[in-house]
Amino acid sequence: MSTINLTESLKKLEEINAWFENQEEVDVEKGLEKVKEGTKLVKASRERLQEIENEFEEVKKELSKTDSEEEPDEIEPDELPI
């Protein structure tokens, strides 16, 4: 499955919206085509957003893991050499 570009999808959705707004009389057949296209774009965009959210969570986990590895061990006061 190819990865969609969210910016391009939003532009296409805006174009579809503008098409409907600029029609004095909507051709039902063409309108149905536009609705189907818009529906596919919305579904693909939602899926891509979920993928991006998952990728961010993975990066967050990796960053957290790296941070915890770099933190020095805390020394308890009773462990200090005298």
Query: Which DSSP string corresponds to 36-61?
Result: HHHHHHHHHHHHHHHHHHHHHHHHHH
Question: Is residue 78 included in any domain, yes or no?
Answer: no
Q: What is the pLDDT of residues 65-80, one digit of tens each?
A: 877 766 555 666 666 5
Question: Is residue 43 included in any domain, yes or no?
Answer: yes
The per-residue pLDDT of the chain, averaged, comes to 87
Question: Is residue 79 included in any domain, yes or no?
Answer: no
Domain range for residue 34?
A: 27-67
What total of structural domains would you count in the chain? 1
- Whether residue 49 contacts residue 6, with contact meaning beta carbons closer than 8 Å, is answered with yes
Is the pTM for the entire model greater than 0.95?
A: no
